[in-house]
Amino acid sequence: MRYRLLGRSGIRVSEIGLGCEQLQGKEYPVLKAIVDTAIDCGVTLFDVFMPEPTVRTYLGRALAGRRDQIVIQGHIGSTWKDGQYAVSRDMRENRKAFDDLLERLGTDYIDIGMLHFVDTEEDFFRVSVGELFEYVRELKKSGTIKVIGMSTHEASLAKRAAESGVIDVVMFSLNPAFDLLPTNVPMGELMADENAASSMQNQIDPNRAELYQSCEQHGTAITVMKAYMAGRLLSAGQSPFGSALTPAQCIHYALTRPAVASALIGCETPDEVRAAAAYETATDMEKDFSEVFRKTLAVEGKCVYCNHCLPCPSRIDIAQVNKYLDLATAVQKIPETVSAHYRALTVNAEDCVLCGDCEERCPFRVPVRQRMEDAVRIFGSNGKYLENA
């Protein structure tokens, strides 16, 4: 395993980390086997956002006696209310949840105190100047957390956090599908160019490119979520590229972006941990993802989140709705965070007026109106995932 500096913090972390969300619901022997395998493979960074009590207790048991080997990224603002996950900015709830995290993990400190799920301007303001941020500052001053982080899916907010001087780590959703920006060159001409792959590789959404560069400039580390796009990139049938990428290709893409310290991979079995860790011994050819981009013509009908469909008269962020729809339909049981993120959208699929302007502008002929109807069906009128949809 190779290790990288976590930005300006001075902390070193494994370049492949374990996203622990998939541990929720596992029996203790399975969870411990996954944790043991990760540590045996050299993984040191564990992202722990889950507020559910049992998984926290099990994880604490599995890490017992090995706390000094681990860098824990723990979330502040992720709470357990009425038997389910909830994002909260209520100080009483957040203090209780953070104390619970420390107690159940059997530790008196968290390495990265991550302000959880900051995806709107309003919320960014609230966590930047309110009592929640003062609480986080107090935790850092006392040594209860070592560095301050913020998780977000919005490049503009992540960039502002990186440039603030007080956020040390940004947790951000990063993979080639989320980054890809089609050029104004006709797709046929682009694909015929022998340099098409390298051109596509570098033509990403300028806001995201600026984020990565800004983080690099300011010494703000990025820890990556959704490197596999909830597994969709690993499936030829579900990948927006029309071809499957391997775990090594997805990880390599993430780790070659500026400022990235670690790619956090969610694993449900020890074999999935080993598949991710195999990146460390993969050849350059095995890591190379450019061939997949050479086949990008196969994205017709599949959203690559490029936002060429905008502007929308209802002001729907069509790419975001499509992302959450894809994440919801890629797994049998949707993670609670996906429906929470969908609910957090100010305008969503229910507001679609079915005008079709987006479909006329889409370079990949995505049936946007149908997908908006699918999102309403999948998430329901209140954004709650319908199990039998």
Burial 9-22 (b: 16+ CB within 10 A, else e): bebebbbbbbbbbb
Question: pLDDT at position 363, please?
Answer: 67
The pair of three-digit structure tokens given for residue 218, joined into one six-digit string: 């300011």
Average pLDDT over residues 338-364: 88
Token pair 């990288």 is found at 4
**88, pLDDT greater than 90:** yes
**185-190-191 Cα angle (round to 5):** 150
pLDDT per position as a tens digit, 92-110: 999 999 999 999 999 999 9
What is the CATH class of 3-296?
alpha beta
Average pLDDT over residues 163-181: 89
Using 50, 70 and 90 to split pLDDT, how confident is the model at 295? low
Question: pLDDT at position 209, please?
Answer: 86
Question: pLDDT at position 145, please?
Answer: 98
Report the chain's mean pLDDT, rounded to a whole number: 87
Higher-confidence position of 14 and 205: 14
Give the three-class secondary structure for 22.
Answer: helix
For the beta carbon of residue 84, count every other beta carbon within 10 angstroms. Answer: 11
Interhelix angle 318-329/336-344, nearest 10 degrees:
160
Stretch among 32-41, 54-63, 192-201, 294-303 having the lowest mean pLDDT? 192-201
Give the separation between CA 264 and CA 11, rounded to whole angstroms. 16
Give the separation between CA 353 and CA 313, rounded to whole angstroms. 8
Give the separation between CA 304 and CA 378, rounded to whole angstroms. 20
DSSP label at residue 149? E
Give the separation between CA 77 and CA 67, rounded to whole angstroms. 23
Question: pLDDT at position 301, please?
Answer: 79
**69, pLDDT greater than 50:** yes
Question: pLDDT at position 96, please?
Answer: 97
**202, pLDDT greater than 60:** no
**208-346-307 Cα angle (round to 5):** 40
**296, pLDDT greater than 90:** no
Give the separation between CA 47 and CA 52, rounded to whole angstroms. 14
**76, pLDDT greater than 80:** yes
Higher-confidence position of 166 and 319: 166
**294, pLDDT greater than 60:** no
Higher-confidence position of 297 and 345: 345
**281, pLDDT greater than 60:** yes
CATH 3.20.20.100 in the chain: give the residue spans.
Answer: 3-296
**52, pLDDT greater than 90:** yes
Q: How many residues does the chain have?
A: 389
Question: pLDDT at position 273, please?
Answer: 98
Give the three-class secondary structure for 226.
Answer: coil
Highest-confidence segment of 33-37, 129-133, 206-210:
33-37
Q: Which of 78, 162, 154 is nearest to 113 (CA)?
A: 78
Q: Are 2 and 15 in contact (CB under 8 A)?
A: yes
pLDDT per position as a tens digit, 305-340: 766 688 899 999 998 898 888 878 877 777 777 888
Average pLDDT over residues 258-277: 97
